[in-house]
Each structure stands twice: as C-alpha cells, then as structure tokens.
Structure 1
Amino acid sequence: MTAISKKTKRYPSDLTDEEWERIAPLMPAPGRTGRPREVEFREVVNAVRYLVRSGCGWRMLPVHFGPWRTIYGWFRELARRFLFQTIHDVELMLDRERSGREASPTAAVVDSQSVKAPHAETRGYDAGKKIVGRKRHIAVDTDGRLLMVHLTPADISDSAGAQMILDAIRKRWPWVKHLFADGAYDRLKLMDKAAYLDFVLEIIRRSQEQAGLQVLPRRWVVERTFGWMMRWRRLVRDYERRTDVSIAMIHVAMGGILIRRNAHP
C-alpha cells in the first residue's frame, strides 16, 4: 500500500496512472457539436472516490477537484449511464480470470444488511436490528466479489428482498446456478421462485451444539464483503435520498477495490 500511495496525486483514494488507463476507455466521448468539454473525468472520478472513501459531504470536497456542483452533476450523469456499475462488472470478471476462475460465476452467496438512512425518501424499521433505515440485499460470488445489490426499506424481510434480486441475477449473471443463504431465507415463496428460475438454494444452518461465534462454510465471505463496504465511510450509513444514487456509491466503492487489485497485483 505504501508503494501504491506514492503513485497517487494527493490522496490515497486518487487513481494511479495504471488504474486510470484501465477505465479511461469507458468514459463518455466528447460531443460532436457544442462547447468543448472542459471537465477532466479523472478528476471527477477522483473526487467521487474521495467523497465515498472519506465520508465527507459534496460541499466539503477539496477545491482543487473543481466546483462541487460540477462534480455532483457529472456524478449523476455517469450514474445515470450505469458507468460505475459497468466499471465494477468489467473489473470483477477480469479479477476472476486473473485468479484462475471463469469470468462469469456459477455460485453466489446472498445476505442483507440494515443501515441507518436519515435522509432516505422511504425508510422502514428493522425490529431485529432495531434500525430505522434501508436494507441492502446483496449477492456475492464465493470469493466475496459483489454481484448484485438491491435496496429496500429496512422492514422488508430477507426472503422478500432476495426474491427481488433473483430475476436480476439471472439476467446479469446467467451462469449462476447455486445460491447459499442462512436460515432467514428458508421460506416457501423464495424456494418456489428459486426453483422456477432454475436456482439451487442451499441453506447453511448453524450448529445447535456449538456455542459462540461460528465460521460457516460459504457464509463468511458475504460478511467480509460487508466489512469491505464499511471501510468506505460514506457507506457506514446511507446518506442518499434516492436508491439509485446509493447503489452508485456502492459500485464506486467495490469497483475501486477491484480496480486497485487488478492494476497492482
């Protein structure tokens, strides 16, 4: 990490030259007509990564990134084009190939996380975690790489949230056949939908004989993914009003991890 930090311009969250070369071809091309574009996309991405990593507000961005309204406007435009999701998915497949796996996964682990969302348009109360906010329903591959994320009010059950992401998993990752989950997902409606979409849903249960912390096979990787998210301080709580903006923030964070891993193996 020390060697990588020496390659960044100002902050540890800045893109190195190697990282920028990987994502530069995915940036929008300039328009054929109109005023020449003055914004530098590398600085826009650096600013967004700084915001998600540090947890600061838009108005508190350092001035050398440029006007915060310009950064925010381009962030919303790039999120609308699903650019951060595209970068994340491309780097995910490249990282899988680099580790000797097939680009598209065949198995996934599903779980959820409730976080406080003080400014969300719609919120719910998770009675189990005693949290008012949103719930993040995610699916990861067996190494912990994020495959799918869906946001709901926190009062939506785990099994109901999982039903919402099964269709999306089938469309984006068609080779996924096997799903691992904990006992909260052992529900008849979810099992029926999984069977209808040709998924095999395996419930990993805790041992009743063993007390204390248990590291369950295939289950611990999703908890590690949540831990990776919590290192990006903007994700410790859900500060966004809109769910699409919040999902873009998650892809910025998880994509940043994969970009750095691939550019500096």
Structure 2
Amino acid sequence: MRVDLVPDGLWERVAPLLPPAPRRRHRHPGRLRVPDRAALADIVSVLRTGVAWRDVPAQAVGCSGVTAWRRLRGWTEAGVWPRLHTALLTELRRADLLDLDACAVDGSHVRALKGGHHVGPSPVDRARPGSKHHVIVDRWGTPFAVTLTGGNGHDITQLLPLLDAIPPIRGLRGHPRHRPRRLYADRGYDFAKYRRLLWKRGIKPMIARRGHAHGSGLGKVRWVAERAFAWLRQFKRLRTRYEQRADLHQGLLHLACGIICLRRLRKSL
C-alpha cells in the first residue's frame, strides 16, 4: 500500500467514522478481510488518477478495484464522507482558518458518460448527457458544501439547497455557524425572489446584476469559487462522471472536499 495515498493525518480522521467490520464465521471464515486503510488507498488512487476500478493494479495499492468499489459503496451508504468533511471544517474553524462572513457560490458542468440519476442534456456541450457540480466556498476557496444535479439544471435551483447543505460548523465557543453573512454570486443568480429569500435568512446578497455592464467589482471576491473547481478538477475522477449512481459520485465529491480541507489545515501547521 502506498503510504502517500492515505497519510496518517487522513487515516486518523477517517478510521473513527467507518462502520464496524462484519464478524467472521468461526467454522468457515473464508478469506481474510482487506484492511480498510488499503481499500481507502485504492479509492483515493481512483479519485486522483481517474483509472477504471477494474484496472487498478492490486499489487501497487493493496487490494482489487472491485473490492475498493464495494467498500466505497458501503461507506457512502453509511454517510462517512459528509461526516469527514464536517469534522475537517470544524478543525479549520478551531484554527481560525475559515471565513464564514463572506461566501461565494457557483456551478460547473461535467460530462456523464454512463448516464444515471442527476444526468441531463448539457446546454454547454451540445446537449450531450452531463451533470453539474454546485459548490459554496468561503473567501479562501474552502468548500463548505457541494451538490450534484443534471446538466440542464439552472444554477439558481441549487442556491437554497447549497445553503441548507452547509453543516453546523463548531470549533469555537458559542452556537455553531451554518450560514454566511454575505453571499457573492454571478448574474445567473440574479432573481428578485431569491434575493428576498436570502434577506429573510439574514444573508446579504452580493449578486451581479443582469443587463448591467461588467465592472461591478464582485469578481475580486467570486473568483475563489472558480479556484475551488480547479482544485476539484485536480482529482481526475471528477473531471468526467463515470459513476451511474449519483450517491457514489457525490461521495467522491465529499471525499475530495475533505482532502482539500486537510491540505489547508496541514499548510497552516
């Protein structure tokens, strides 16, 4: 198993979240269970390189790709990845490395080669099947929440679901934070209805106006959302959607967000 795929810092945070392994039979125990850390290394290898599960070299990582896929399926259904992401956000807030006052939101298209749920004709890819990643980040580009929709979904439809997806972030004394004070967005989010809904939630909308010339100055703040997508695209498995099951692709998105948060935390130490 390659140690650099699952460093000690990542494993120490993932291990307590994993569901207990099933008990082995006494009379006919069968094969030994592949260690969870080896399976996680396989999952991270696929996430980074984009290689197909069946093509993962077991001798290089530690187990077969099929075994790792089954482990990914079980851990996704157990909700491991969102809890990992939330735990790392809490650590970042405790270290004063989050800015919950100013956040930015945006969406990005990816091609979906095998169809599945949350797939639709992409308006930016000649109506080919595609999906869309939606992300909300702080002023440094740290992802708070990420969602998945069909490629034909409008960005504005995910504005409130993204805000609802932000977990209660603890780490400091007082009530946990789960919403920003200001939200920056481009012209695709310029709807009077949603501006009113943001004000009702106590969030000041900083959204570029449609029909106005460029030069609002909001680009100096909103660019961090584009940088977050660039960080996510470093994980080659996320550049194109191969998973038919939307929950597995969503799980890989949460794992990538957790790794991004861990990188930021390690750089500050």
TM-score by length of 2: 0.81
* 8 Å contact kept, 1:204–1:219: no
Distance 1:97 1:42, change over 3 A: same
Q: For the structure 1 residues 208 and 22, does the alpha-carbon distance in structure 2 shift closer, same or farther, using more than 3 Å as the test?
A: same
1:42-191 to structure 2, matched below 5 A, reads 42-64=37-59, 65-98=62-95, 100-101=96-97, 105-122=100-117, 123-128=119-124, 130=126, 132=128, 133-169=130-166, 174-191=178-195
Q: CA offset at residue 114 of structure 1? A: 0.9
CA apart distance, 1:125:
2.8
1:27 equivalenced with 2:2 (yes/no): no
C-alpha distance 120-197 of structure 1, shift in aligned 2 (>3 A): farther
**Preserved CA contact (<8 Å) 2:121 2:152:** yes
- Whether contact under 8 Å (1:158, 1:185) holds in the other structure is yes
TM-score, normalised to structure 1, is 0.82
Inter-CA distance 262–234: structure 2 relative to 1 (3 Å threshold): same
Task: Determine if the alignment matches structure 1 residue 221 to structure 2 residue 224.
Answer: yes
Question: d(CA) in 2 for partners of 1:131 and 1:96?
Answer: 41
Task: Please say if residues 179 and 201 of structure 1, whose CA atoms lie closer than 8 Å, have aligned partners that are also in contact.
Answer: yes
Offset at residue 115 of structure 1 (A): 1.1
Q: What SS class does the counterpart of residue 149 from structure 2 fall into?
A: strand
1:249 maps onto 2:224 in alignment = no
Is 1:234 the equivalent of 2:237?
Answer: yes
Q: Displacement, 1:233? A: 0.5
Structure 2 unaligned spans of 5+: 170-176
Partners of 1:38 and 1:170 in 2: CA distance: 33
Q: Does the aligned pair in 1 maintain the 2:190–2:209 contact within 8 Å?
A: no
- 1:39 partner SS: coil
Code of the residue aligned with 1:28 in structure 2: it is P
How many equivalent pairs are there?
250
For residue 202 of structure 2, the aligned residue among 177, 198, 202 is 198
Pairwise CA distance, 1:209:
6.7
Amino acid of the residue matched to residue 17 of structure 1? D
Instruction: Kindly provide the CA deviation profile for residues 19-65 of structure 1, in whole angstroms up to 9, marking residues without a partner as x.
Output: 3233322232345x554872311111111000010000110111132
CA deviation vs aligned residue, 1:99-134 (integer Å, no higher than 9, x gap): x246x8343211000111111225323335646311
Q: Secondary structure of 1:217's match?
A: helix
Report % sequence identity: 28
RMSD: 2.8
Q: Once the two structures are superposed, what CA deviation does each residue of 1:202-256 show, in whole Å capped at 9, x if it has no partner? A: 114698476xxx9822111100000001111101111111221111111222212
Aligned twin of 1:16: 7
Distance 1:131 1:143 in 2: 33
Contact 2:19-2:78 within 8 A present in 1 as well:
no
1:47 and 1:170 map into 2 onto residues whose CA distance is 28
Aligned-partner residue type, residue 135 of structure 1: K
Contact 1:91 1:255 in 2 (8 A): yes
Distance in 1 between residues matched to 2:194 and 2:126, nearest whole Å: 24
